[in-house]
Amino acid sequence: DDYVERCKAQDRWLMPNTGMLIFHYKDGKFFLDQEPINVNEYRQIYHPKTIDIYLMRHGETRFNVQERMQGRCDSPLTEKGIQEAQEAAEKLKDIPFSTIYVSTAERARDTAEIIAQYHPGNIVYTKKICEVNYGDLEGMTFKEADPSGKRFMDTHYGDVGGEEYNDVVKRINSIFHEIYDTHQDQDKVLLVSHGDFYLVCLEALFGLKKEDIFQEASELGINPVPNCGIAHFRMTSNQYELIQKMSD
């Protein structure tokens, strides 16, 4: 009964698909060592490892300059954006990345191409780290699409054909589980992604709200999500540590 109540409280299945439990038999009795868990949880608990994840935003684009919502649409890197990517490449050149994961957006691919000159190894293009989908608002200026900023702060675009906060969190969980399952202990990986994707990561993994992030940045007079900014997360089993934000 206690187990059933805990599952209800955690919104868990009593026995997950492909789940497993661990027990042993001794002196005529069975003893439960591990309540039912899914495969990912099993690996994290019984085969722990630490992976460093560097999350980088693409270089400045034409839409960035025009203060337009990009999302899944695209615009090319500016000359400044290319220079930003080159400077980031210099900063990252001595880090031995086992894999570079790249958003399928052209602006991310072009940024990653510059970074990869020092890392000619494994590059994986994936939609899992694409920018938040803003639906019908893409291409509009922020003032036109979201004058109060509430949609942006809440990550609320489902009613205009885009994504909700939980949709993005599912993608985050999926790519981080993939990274954990694919890589070895002490591996380092780079994600070339997007600003709003990064902000949702901060909230989903570390509980940092957008409102608080922008308030703190305003007080310090800094950009919390600079183009080619580099954040550093550390993943150990199912725990995440924020080593560095993009603005640090």
Please give the backbone phi and psi of residue 119, each rounded to the nearest 5 degrees, phi first: -135, 75
Are 98 and 219 in a shared domain? yes
For residues 31-44, average pLDDT: 76
In this structure, are residues 71 and 133 in contact, taking their beta carbons and an 8 Å threshold?
yes
In this structure, are residues 129 and 175 in contact, taking their beta carbons and an 8 Å threshold?
yes
What is the span of the domain harbouring residue 230?
48-244
Query: Tokens for 124?
Result: 């994986």
Are 94 and 29 in a shared domain? no
For residues 156-179, average pLDDT: 95
Taking only the tens place, the pLDDT of each residue in 94-148 is 999 999 999 999 999 999 999 999 998 899 999 999 999 999 999 999 999 999 9
Percentage with pLDDT > 70 across the chain: 96
pLDDT for the residue numbered 1: 66
Q: Is the pLDDT of residue 93 over 90?
A: yes
DSSP readout, 137-159? GTTSBHHHH-TTSHHHHHTB-GG
What is the 8-class DSSP label of residue 68?
B
Are 13 and 91 in a shared domain? no
Neighbouring residues of 136: CB distance < 8 A, sequence distance ≥ 6: 160, 161, 162
The Cα–Cα gap between 238 and 235 comes to 7
Taking only the tens place, the pLDDT of each residue in 192-224 is 999 999 999 999 999 999 999 999 999 999 999
The Cα–Cα gap between 24 and 22 comes to 7
Counted domains in the chain: 2
pLDDT for the residue numbered 48: 83
The Cα–Cα gap between 157 and 132 comes to 9
Q: Is the pLDDT of residue 40 over 80?
A: no
Q: Which residues are catalytic?
A: 58, 131
Are 81 and 12 in a shared domain? no
CATH number for 133: 3.40.50.1240
